Structure 1
């Protein structure tokens, strides 16, 4: 069922959460005239040109100097790393927010044109967006890690997903391009990573939204900052060798007949205990977080267990500008990896659409030289999704009731 609806102004005024999913033809689904003017002039404004210049400077600073070695992508033919490529990366990261209950996970439901206008309007005039939001609130909730109440901790995903996760993926994507023999791998990685970030902001943005600092802090501060941070070998070495930071994203797929996406960007950390041999502190984060223990099975393989929370949906806290918190449900899972490449997982959650999620990545099930990935999702609402993935294409699946 589509999550795009038409609401009256009175309905939206009484329930601002609905604003995210209002259709563009809804009587209330239009941004304010002032914000529309922001969009109309954003691309040509001096401010947007300044920030475009900043992006170019970041790109030039990263350079094309080869790293000492590959840190996050080593062309493994098995597990989650076997599915890593620019298309699956953009798909998983771009549609990551579609896991939320109030964001449609059907590709055709989104009003991309209007949502793109909103993102560009805010990126084209970042200072105005921050002024409407408030500089003090912006620094406390989006930038400085000093607020620890539920409604003021937007800085956590900024640091986790955008700065660290985004920076790590920049390095991994550059390594992927280099392994394929593509010239200027860091330049291509920069373009790929920023494309994914922009798609993510578009999907997260409702077509009726106006001023927002989400895009400003995500893109200009943490996404570009992550690229700069992970341009240093010492940073890559720390996260790769000390923390075993890895990409454990879902198996990117589209299901028929409704065009639902199976997508999600997840990261794992395993910090080996200095006082407990063959065990590590385990942390998996993305749309939620799991905390637990990893146990070493042999020289290459680990089994990890975690419990925590899964994000159910975003809740709007303000009507004049976008400030959100999250509602969560319980979450638990078990994960089997080889050399930090996820082989299989079984995850349970209190989110009804994702009650049980099972994934078996390429390298486990084989027919001759062909080894597909397999995934399945069972919801408490009676839905069942099943799909197959391969190394080169977005996976395909089917939906049943």
Structure 2
């Protein structure tokens, strides 16, 4: 117990220092346009600090595509995934949706995957479909469209659509892995929620609501590769929303989700610095409900977050899970090494072993950092 408290204190030291860093740039009043850039910008602002500095198509695909590796009973070695089998099985289910839906019937498919009428986790696969595919995926599409437009990439909508397609297809392939048979999960995601999210966030009024009323932002992790174990760590696509509780926006209802889900409060200063804290649940294991359906069991989680202008600068998460009992992320801009703006990651598992990593936002489109961890003794 003493060792855990000591290590937790060590993790909190850099987070405390992070909240005392000097302003990175003068705060600019919010507007949905960017000088010199065409069109509106709701989710990508081109900021050079925090989570905004890490936004890129390659990082989105990596964080989202391998997100299922965060749960305890799935390995996190990308080289061991059976991509060929996964692509064949996902493709078979997508091209023949009646095959998988017919196993338990259309009504079972609707009540598990589409209609939110059950709070039983075994029958509530609709929750990640709405939150991660409809809302999260839709926002990610709009964010990528703005990213490509900001960087003057032609056909930004087509480029964003291709990026989201790659992200979601890889996600289904990695989740499928060794499975060879019917499964309804990719059917609901690909034919219903993913396209619905793109359509939803293509509407400026919807995008403006999520951006200016809910202040939605991408607060994804900083993935790192561990050479000595060939593991991918600290990956995952996360989102945050804040609904202001007063006119000044100094107090807000806060919700953070991805594989975590924390509900709490945010407190924002006039210069845009914000502290958020929340409690909730985290996905722990991927479980088979029956031969075609899967669900997640949950564990208690909590989080402390520090952002500036809605760009995440530091986060400390607690979860009652095996690999990430405590997880600290310090994003680019808190520490500067000459022209470099490194990001740092550190995690403490249930056996008090530390995993760590560093990444560099200054390297264009490089979605992954490098890290290390001790190899467990047999």
Pick the TM interval, shorter chain. 0.7 to 0.9
Q: Does 1:190 align with 2:164?
A: no
SS of alignment partner, residue 116 of structure 1: helix
SS of alignment partner, residue 400 of structure 1: coil
Show the counterpart of 1:386.
Answer: 356
Q: Give the aligned CA root-mean-square deviation in angstroms.
A: 1.5
Show the counterpart of 1:396.
Answer: 370
Alpha-carbon contact 1:118-1:207 (below 8 Å) kept: no
Q: Does 1:286 align with 2:222?
A: no
Q: Does 1:252 align with 2:252?
A: no
Show the counterpart of 1:45.
Answer: none
Show the counterpart of 1:11.
Answer: none
Q: Deviations over 1:42-90 (max 9, x none)?
A: xxxxxxxxxxxxxxxxxxxxxxxx9841000011000011011011110
SS of alignment partner, residue 323 of structure 2: helix
Show the counterpart of 1:236.
Answer: 207
Q: Deviations over 1:153-175 (max 9, x none)?
A: 11111000000000000010011
Show the counterpart of 2:274.
Answer: 302
In structure 2, what is the Cα distance between the partners aligned to 1:187 and 1:293?
37
In structure 1, what is the Cα distance between the partners aligned to 2:127 and 2:179?
26
Show the counterpart of 1:88.
Answer: 59
In structure 2, what is the Cα distance between the partners aligned to 1:163 and 1:67?
26
Alpha-carbon contact 1:170-1:230 (below 8 Å) kept: yes
Q: Does 1:181 align with 2:152?
A: yes
Show the counterpart of 2:32.
Answer: none
Structure 2 unpaired stretches of 5+:
1-36
Alignment of 1:2-401 (within 5 A): 68-262=39-233, 263-274=235-246, 278-318=250-290, 321-391=291-361, 392=364, 393=366, 394-401=368-375
Structure 1 unpaired stretches of 5+:
1-65
Alpha-carbon contact 1:270-1:283 (below 8 Å) kept: yes
Q: Deviations over 1:164-213 (max 9, x none)?
A: 00000001001111111110011000001110000000111141341111
In structure 1, what is the Cα distance between the partners aligned to 2:186 and 2:105?
15
TM norm structure 2: 0.85
In structure 1, what is the Cα distance between the partners aligned to 2:248 and 2:203?
31
Q: Give the count of matched residue pairs.
A: 334
In structure 1, what is the Cα distance between the partners aligned to 2:92 and 2:353?
38
